[in-house]
Chain A
Amino acid sequence: EDKVVQSPLSLVVHEGDTVTLNCSYEVTNFRSLLWYKQEKKAPTFLFMLTSSGIEKKSGRLSSILDKKELFSILNITATQTGDSAIYLCASLIQGAQKLVFGQGTRLTINP
Chain B
Amino acid sequence: GAVVSQHPSRVICKSGTSVKIECRSLDFQATTMFWYRQFPKQSLMLMATSNEGSKATYEQGVEKDKFLINHASLTLSTLTVTSAHPEDSSFYICSAASGPTINSPLHFGNGTRLTVT
Residues of A within 8 A of B (CB): 31-32, 34, 36, 41-45, 48, 88, 90, 92, 94, 96-104, 106
Contacts and interface: CB of A to CB of B under 8 A. Distances in A.
Contacts of A41: 110-111
A97 B102 contact: yes
B46 A98 contact: yes
Interface in B1-26: 6
Contacts, number: 53
Contacts of A90: 44
Given A98-B49, A101-B43, A104-B43, A31 B108 contact: no
B39 to A, nearest CB: 11
B26 to A, nearest CB: 14
A88 B43 contact: yes
Contact of B108 (A43, A94, A106): A43
Interface in B64-94: 93
